[in-house]
Amino acid sequence: MALNLLVSLFSILISTIFPQPRALQYSQHDRFAFGPNLIHSIITPTSSPTSSTSISPPQPSSLAPALFIIGDSSVDCGTNNFLVTMARADHLPYGRDFDTHRPTGRFCNGRIPVDYLGNVALRLGLPFVPSYLGQNGNVEDMIHGVNYASAGAGIIFTSGSELGQHISLLEQIQQFTDTYQQFILSMGEHRAADLISNSVFYLSIGINDYIHYYLRNVSNVQNLYLPWSFNQFLASTIWQQIKNLYDLNVRKLVVMGLAPIGCAPHYLWQYRSENGECIESINDMVREFNFLMRYMIEELGEELPDSNIIFCDMFEGSMDIIKNHENYGFNDTTAACCGLGEYRGWILCLSSQMACSNASTYIWWDQFHPTDAVNAILADNVWNGLHTKMCYPMNLKEMVLLKEN
């Protein structure tokens, strides 16, 4: 076991110091605005519908033309594979229960919630959405959406930076702006605006501002801000960024609240939870943040004409699963499937030897992230409140079925 751990640590170190060749693509993506595809788009008039045959239309059964994702490790689908960071999920056992049974960069044994919303026939009915750094910059690759999420990212620029590189919230929105400009050049302003305003945006970020900033007392933040004013600071930043997205024609937005990380194996280990009780001081902060966000999203929805913004409370949805775990078929609510130490919450999941044999009865996959089984239930709730009501003022299904004004 100790040897395996050493080998894993060593391989992480190696991949961190000498990122795989694909990481070279990062610099190409940085400047792909000047790449051959864009130049091709500029010199080839593609704004009339007849000449844009290379762009596949939405699948007949899909309820939205595309799904765009901004966030952190809760929805990262491979961004961090291209970065120099400790926060990576590009090795087994990550992905072992995914469709391909291969690691993809998702921080889960299987699917993440956006997979269960996007890639399900009777839901959005879209193909898997590529990560921004994992596609080649062709408009055809991005036409069904792009995932910009990066593990370790927070609302505050420096949150998570002790892990290494990540793409921050602001940079992710900048990358989306670049995508949008490519759409405009390729299909014309009108069709690009149409595509964006009919697409679903999924925003899932903020937990790292607690895990890697507030709770670590970075820059003496705990003395300078009470939790309540820290929450207000985060919420007002999100408010501004949503307005920026609105100015880019985003109209259908799902804002995810934060999960009860006071129940995550890492904090059960760190705070020496005796019988697996959640750390209430942490959960209280998360609960307050979600409360504030729900109120703010309601206000924003009224302020921004023609917008459809919903807030989904991950805390409520997750606590329902923890409380009623037996009904859902979970019998371990406190320990991670993969990791080392008490609750397997001390050392992160580095190798298959650290993992349980079957994650399907576990709530937690690693020290911070839920299992595929939990993600499926949460996605059910976001879609139509199947198990418990989580989204306000409506579920995602109602939102995408709304008639356009």
Q: Which of 178, 161, 168, 148 is nearest to 78 (CA)?
A: 148
Distance CA 349, CA 362 (A): 15
Q: Which of 320, 332, 366, 372 is catalytic?
A: 366
Query: Smaller CB distance to ligand NAG: residue 88 or 111?
Result: 111
Query: Smaller CB distance to ligand NAG: residue 316 or 332?
Result: 332
Q: How far is the CB of 73 from ligand NAG (least distance, A)?
A: 23
> 3-state DSSP call for residue 380?
helix
Q: Which of 53, 54, 102 is nearest to 81 (CA)?
A: 102
Side-chain-side CA neighbours of 306 within 13 Å: the count stands at 10
Could you tell me which residues are beta bridge partners of residue 255? 203, 311
CB 116 within 8 Å of CB 373: no
CB 301 within 8 Å of CB 314: no
Q: Which of 249, 386, 258 is nearest to 308 (CA)?
A: 249
- Sign (positive/negative) of CA torsion 44, 47, 52, 56? positive
Residue 309: enclosing H or E segment and its boundaries? Answer: strand 308-312
Could you tell me which residues are beta bridge partners of residue 204? 71
Distance CA 19, CA 88 (A): 11
Q: How far is the CB of 217 from ligand NAG (least distance, A)?
A: 4
Query: Smaller CB distance to ligand NAG: residue 249 or 360?
Result: 360
Q: How far is the CB of 238 from ligand NAG (least distance, A)?
A: 25
Kindly give, in sequence order, each residue whose CB lies less than 8 Å from that of residue 219, ignoring residues fewer than 6 positions away.
none
Catalytic status, residue 369: yes
Distance CA 92, CA 105 (A): 10
Query: Smaller CB distance to ligand NAG: residue 249 or 361?
Result: 361
Residue 67: count other Cβ atoms within 10 Å of its Cβ.
26
| Residues of this chain that bind ligand NAG (CB under 6 A) | 217, 220, 222-223, 331-332, 358, 360-361
Q: How far is the CB of 336 from ligand NAG (least distance, A)?
A: 13
Query: Smaller CB distance to ligand NAG: residue 174 or 331?
Result: 331
Which pair of tokens denotes residue 88?
């990576």
Catalytic status, residue 29: no
Q: Which of 168, 273, 369, 380 is catalytic?
A: 369
Which pair of tokens denotes residue 89?
């999920």
Catalytic status, residue 366: yes
Q: Which of 73, 131, 199, 204 is catalytic?
A: 73
Q: How far is the CB of 26 from ligand NAG (least distance, A)?
A: 34
Give CA separation, 192 vs 198, 201, 247, 369, in Å: 10, 15, 14, 35
Query: Smaller CB distance to ligand NAG: residue 220 or 240?
Result: 220
Query: Smaller CB distance to ligand NAG: residue 44 or 358?
Result: 358
Radius of gyration of the CA atoms of the chain, in A: 21
Query: Smaller CB distance to ligand NAG: residue 51 or 358?
Result: 358
Q: How far is the CB of 55 from ligand NAG (least distance, A)?
A: 39
Residue 404: count other Cβ atoms within 10 Å of its Cβ.
8
Q: How far is the CB of 371 from ligand NAG (least distance, A)?
A: 11
Which pair of tokens denotes residue 301?
């929805």
Please measure the distance between the N-terminal and C-terminal CA atoms of the chain and give it in whole angstroms.
61
Q: How far is the CB of 253 from ligand NAG (least distance, A)?
A: 35
Residues marked active site are found at 73, 366, 369
